[in-house]
Amino acid sequence: MNLALFGPPGSGKGTQANFLVQHFGIPQVSTGDLFRAEIKAQTDVGRKAQTYMDRGDLVPDSITLQLVRRRLDAPDTERGVLFDGFPRTVAQATELDKMLQVMGRRMDRVIFVQVPTDVLVDRLAGRLTCPKCGRTYHPKLAPPQLDTVCDHDGTALIMREDDRPETARKRISVYLEQTLPVLAHYRQQHVVSDIAGTGSIEEVRERILRAIGVPSAAPAGMSTGGPAAGVRLAGEGPGGGIPPSEQGGASDTETPGQRRPPGIRPSDHGRSQGAGHRRRVRGR
Ligand code: AP5
Ligand code: MG
């Protein structure tokens, strides 16, 4: 099963990915994390990527796609992948379609996590990140058990350079201009689920599971999808400059939970997809 978490910076993609990879037994492929690993290893790719990331700009497609191709060659991706922060341009989405097709696969579901811009800025301004495992925390919204270390591995938490308010705002505007149009690409494939990314981390998780078609353990009456009442979404209205038709979109609004990824039954989650899915991307 191939899934993508799609949404603006700070919408909670990484937070939700932590749970989903364990639930479905598929690896997370976060291009942001791949770039940060290259920067840490001081590779040429890392040096190039850093100049763009420090400004809040997108890294060029050629560099991004090179890393994703290499990642999809690893055996742990055979059962599928959870993409986080990729694809981010229409060109990346088109290339990903081709890569998946070569492997006999397709994008099964794109979860569009929607959060108002003012909430995004607050979340990013306080975010604490584990440099070792990538888990994220927030002193008020999602505090670690001990003030400044990761619950998972005890590493000292850091603030990401690109979370400075000016850079975070630039990333949000880049998202609105260059990444939001990717949704139309996937709406044509009828694989987009619109999810409200507000509320608790657990509530958002429940909405995502329902969108994927997994029976929810949520208590009766809990909201399970769609923008929360009164919530102004990133890109909505005069501030974002994006027409409503390009955000949630009327063309592909199924009720979360009603539609499953093609060929996926709840009992299939986490199982091998068979030999037909083992072809590699490299060497094409
Ligand atoms: P990347 O690392 O992908 O960053 P991003 O997309 O900007 O997203 P973030 O990681 O900032 O946010 P998130 O949605 O993961 O939120 P999180 O879960 O941490 O990319 C960084 C850079 O790399 C880009 O700017 C670009 O330069 C480059 N890049 C990456 N991919 C690229 C690509 N494909 N093409 C070109 N360039 C690329 O949550 C945020 C905070 O909110 C946390 O503190 C968390 O605890 C808190 N939180 C989460 N959920 C909730 C909730 N429900 N309630 C309260 N708090 C919450
Ligand atoms: Mg992230």
Kindly report the CATH number assigned to the domain that includes residue 69: 3.40.50.300
The pLDDT assigned to 216 comes to: 60
Query: Does residue 141 have its Cβ closer than 6 Å to ligand 1?
Result: yes
- Do 194 and 107 lie in one domain? The reply is yes
Chosen domain end from 163, 180, 212: 163
The pLDDT assigned to 213 comes to: 87
> From atom 23 of ligand 1, which residue's Cα is the shortest distance away?
32
> From atom 48 of ligand 1, which residue's Cα is the shortest distance away?
12
Q: Under 8 Å CB-to-CB from 101, ≥6 apart: which residues? A: none
Chosen domain end from 141, 163, 185: 163
- Do 137 and 118 lie in one domain? The reply is no
> From atom 18 of ligand 1, which residue's Cα is the shortest distance away?
12
Query: Does residue 13 have its Cβ closer than 6 Å to ligand 1?
Result: yes
- Do 54 and 67 lie in one domain? The reply is yes
- Going from the Cα of 134 to the center of ligand 2, the distance in angstroms, rounded, reads 8
d(CA 168, CA 126): 11
Kindly report, residue by residue over 161-195, the tens digit of the pLDDT: 999 999 999 999 999 999 999 999 999 999 999 99
Which ligand has the shortest distance to the CA of 157? 1
Query: Does residue 179 have its Cβ closer than 6 Å to ligand 1?
Result: no
Closest of 133, 110, 131, 113 to residue 123, by C-alpha = 113
- Do 145 and 229 lie in one domain? The reply is no
Which ligand has the shortest distance to the CA of 151? 1
> From atom 5 of ligand 1, which residue's Cα is the shortest distance away?
9
- Going from the Cα of 158 to the center of ligand 2, the distance in angstroms, rounded, reads 14
- Do 156 and 69 lie in one domain? The reply is no
Q: Is 283 a domain residue?
A: no
Q: Is 179 a domain residue?
A: yes
- Do 41 and 141 lie in one domain? The reply is no
Tell me the residues surrounding ligand 2 (ion) with CB < 5 Å: 14
Chosen domain end from 113, 136, 163: 163
- Do 155 and 71 lie in one domain? The reply is no
- Do 35 and 140 lie in one domain? The reply is no
d(CA 37, CA 183): 27
CB of 94 closer than 8 Å to CB of 68: no
Known catalytic residues are 13, 88, 127, 160, 171
- Going from the Cα of 120 to the center of ligand 1, the distance in angstroms, rounded, reads 10
Q: Is 284 a domain residue?
A: no
- Going from the Cα of 10 to the center of ligand 2, the distance in angstroms, rounded, reads 7
Query: Does residue 53 have its Cβ closer than 6 Å to ligand 1?
Result: yes
Write out residues in the chain with pLDDT < 70, as ranges: 215-284
State the closest ligand 1 atom to the C-alpha of 197, by its place in the atom list counted from 1: 53
- Do 153 and 237 lie in one domain? The reply is no
CB of 45 closer than 8 Å to CB of 53: no
Which ligand has the shortest distance to the CA of 129? 1
- Going from the Cα of 269 to the center of ligand 1, the distance in angstroms, rounded, reads 25
The pLDDT assigned to 217 comes to: 53
What is the sign of the dihedral through the CA atoms of 78, 261, 235 and 164? negative
Q: Is 82 a domain residue?
A: yes
The pLDDT assigned to 281 comes to: 40
d(CA 49, CA 38): 8
The pLDDT assigned to 102 comes to: 94
d(CA 142, CA 138): 5
Q: Which domain holds residue 139?
A: 126-163
| Pairing status of strand 109-114 against strand 128-129 | unpaired
Q: Is 130 a domain residue?
A: yes
> From atom 1 of ligand 1, which residue's Cα is the shortest distance away?
32
Q: Is 12 a domain residue?
A: yes
- Do 264 and 134 lie in one domain? The reply is no
- Do 171 and 241 lie in one domain? The reply is yes
How many structural domains are present in the chain? 2
- DSSP letters, the chain, are -EEEEE-STTSSHHHHHHHHHHHHT--EEEHHHHHHHHHHTT-HHHHHHHHHHHHTPPPPHHHHHHHHHHHHTSGGGTT-EEEES---SHHHHHHHHHHHHHTT----EEEEEE--HHHHHHHHHH-EE-TTT--EEBTTTB--SSTTB-TTT-PBPB--GGGSHHHHHHHHHHIIIIITTHHHHHHTTT-EEEEE--S-HHHHHHHHHHHHTPPP-PPTT---SSPPTTPPPTTBHHHH-B-GGGTT-STT-PPTTT-PPTT--GGGTTS---GGG---STT-
Kindly report, residue by residue over 244-276, the tens digit of the pLDDT: 433 544 334 333 333 333 333 333 333 333 333
- Do 199 and 72 lie in one domain? The reply is yes
Residue matched to tokens 């440099």: 131
Query: Does residue 90 have its Cβ closer than 6 Å to ligand 1?
Result: no
Q: Is 18 a domain residue?
A: yes
Q: Is 119 a domain residue?
A: yes
